[in-house]
Each structure stands twice: as structure tokens, then as C-alpha cells.
A and B are shown apart, each in its own frame.
Chain A
Amino acid sequence: KQEVTQIPAALSVPEGENLVLNCSFTDSAIYNLQWFRQDPGKGLTSLLLIQSSQREQTSGRLNASLDKSSGRSTLYIAASQPGDSATYLCAAPNQAGTALIFGKGTTLSVSS
């Protein structure tokens, strides 16, 4: 059974700081891993998708890496801004490959 864990559960940083969010998964036979953002009271928005053949994926100030052998992914946010404040969720396919299983998320607060 696929399980996805994210640490830390919450993180507070001053504006401008670089930061790393961590995700681990138990079933490494995945075909992709995804990172999402959720603002309070809203649905989830896809940020990055890393295919199993890739080691990392970049979008603007966001960089996600994937290490299938160790069952880990990281989301790196460069030069954080108050607008980055949100909950970030990592998701990996379940063992049957029929749906995504989500971690509980890391709630990020960036202060100006």
C-alpha cells in the first residue's frame, strides 16, 4: 500500500529565504510524482509533475527532485515571497496506478 509522508508539517520563514520541503513514499514503483499547492478554502493546483525517468523538474522559482531508489522527493522554493504562503502537498500513484495518494502537506508561512 502506497503511503506518502511529508515533513515538516508546518514551516515559517522570512521573505527571501530559500527552503526545502520533503516528501517520502513507500512504493517506489511509481511512474510519476506530483506536487500541488492549496490555498485556504480552495482546491488544489498542480505545480510540478516529475516523470519516473526524470530526476528533477523546474518551474520558475520552484524545483522538484525525485529519487525513486530512496523513496524521496524534495520541493525547493527559491527566494520565498509572502505570496508563496500556502499548503504544499506531495502525491504519488497508488500501487494499482489508478489514483494519486496524497501526503498531509506542509503549511508554509512567509513573512514580509
Chain B
Amino acid sequence: IAGITQAPTSQILAAGRRMTLRCTQDMRHNAMYWYRQDLGLGLRLIHYSNTAGTTGKGEVPDGYSVSRANTDDFPLTLASAVPSQTSVYFCASSDRDGYGYTFGSGTRLTVV
């Protein structure tokens, strides 16, 4: 089934630990995105990548890093997790012009 796969689906993480959220798409979309969703704040863009090999910062990039080594994968890394990074993280992809926006099912991360 075409779409986006995110892993893990949920995670409890100790503060200070390093964590990588995985995202894979099989639609050959050029662009990929990471958003976080928090109650009362909505969806906020963390990082994006318009094509393999390039990445850019979104609204809330601090404490997160991404890489785009190939078209299909776009991992999000928390170098040293803090409680304020407790959130639901969504990966998305689209074609070059922003059409066909498709979301994964999300990763629920709790930092304690």
C-alpha cells in the first residue's frame, strides 16, 4: 500500500537520551516534512527537504536534526531529548509543487 511508514508508533524516552524517529515513503515524492502536533498549538513544521540531499529549517527546529540521503527516507533525530519535546510527530511527503500531501500515522513520544 502506497504511503508513509513511521516508526516507532510510540516511545517513552528518558531525558538526555538520543532518539531517531524513522520515516519512509514509497511514492517517490520529492519533498518530505516533519511536523509536531501539540494540544493548543496545532501542527508546527520542524524541518523539511525539497529533494534528496537538501534540508531546511521550519518553525521549531531547535533540538532536532534531519538528513535526506535518498528519496525515500527522512529520519528525525533528537540529540538530547528534553520534556518539552513530548509530542506527536508526523512525517509527510508531497511532490515538488506541494501536491499529493500525504501524512504518516504519527509517533507519540513522551520524554520523562
Contact = CB atoms under 8 A, between A and B. Distances in A.
A103 B40 CA distance: 11
A103 B42 CA distance: 7
Contacts, number: 54
Chain A interface mostly helix, strand, loop or mixed?
Answer: strand
Nearest to B97: A31
B50 A98 contact: yes
B105 to A, nearest CB: 5
B74 interface: no
Interface residues of A, number: 23
Interface in B91-105: 92, 97-105
Interface residues of B, number: 26
Interface string A83-112: 000000101011001111111110000000
A104 B41 CA distance: 7
Most central of A42, A101, A103 by chain B CB within 10 Å: A101
A105 B42 contact: yes
Interface of B: 4, 31, 33, 35, 40-43, 45, 48, 50, 56, 58-59, 90, 92, 97-106
